[in-house]
A = this chain, B = another copy of it.
């Protein structure tokens, strides 16, 4: 149980055998069908999610009623609305399964207790946040640096498999433009 999660943690810190049951039992295993919402706007984001398989996305709905995806998480990535999670306040985001997904959910209380029982996990999570923050710094750089067309070219060059895997309207939403414009860009790059 929780093999993938434990293996992932062990890439970053040493895990004594006897801590594994403690850790595994702190998480809740969840199965989410495609399009199922793990978090809805207005709710407190109770969990930090580790994706074992499948894909989640973080999005919000703007004042025109359009869904804006700001992040995806695939296997071995964590996802949460950390503003809501850390302060246990209502979120303005949704978290939704893009595909059928298996995730391990860690509540804020369980996380705090785990840190108390096994402090080296602080290091693991420090590294995870550091990695996530570095990725966010890059995402922001991309947005400022490139035109929409360049953003698409870079992204599809770096993550060809992922581009194939998700519907185009979600990709457009994530990259910050309309499905129509994505269509136009793709037509150009084929010919």
Measured CA separation A92–B131 after assembly (Å):
17
Copies of this chain present: 2
Residues A25-82 near B (CB distance < 8 A): 58, 60, 62, 68, 70-71, 81-82
Min Cβ gap A152→B in Å is 16
A83 x B134 contact (CB < 8 A): yes
Binds B, one of A2-10, A99-107, A119-127, A163-171: A119-127
Known contacts A60-B145, A140-B139, A144-B68: A123-B115 contact under CB 8 Å: yes
How many chain A residues sit at the interface, stated as a range, is 35 or more
Known contacts A119-B119, A123-B122, A126-B125: A137-B68 contact under CB 8 Å: no
Interface assignment of A132: CB less than 8 Å from any CB of chain B: yes
Known contacts A82-B130, A136-B133: A68-B125 contact under CB 8 Å: no
**List of B residues within 8 angstroms of A141 by Cβ:** 60, 68, 70, 92-93
B129 x A86 contact (CB < 8 A): no
Known contacts A125-B126, A126-B129, A132-B133: A140-B82 contact under CB 8 Å: no
Measured CA separation A83–B133 after assembly (Å):
9
A143 x B143 contact (CB < 8 A): yes
Known contacts A115-B123, A122-B123, A126-B122: A82-B133 contact under CB 8 Å: yes
Measured CA separation A129–B119 after assembly (Å):
17
**List of B residues within 8 angstroms of A144 by Cβ:** 62, 68, 70, 176
Q: Given A60-B145, A119-B122, A140-B143, output 16 extra A-B contacts at Cβ < 8 Å.
A: A60-B141, A68-B144, A70-B137, A71-B140, A83-B137, A83-B138, A86-B130, A86-B134, A119-B120, A122-B126, A126-B126, A126-B129, A129-B130, A132-B133, A136-B136, A136-B137
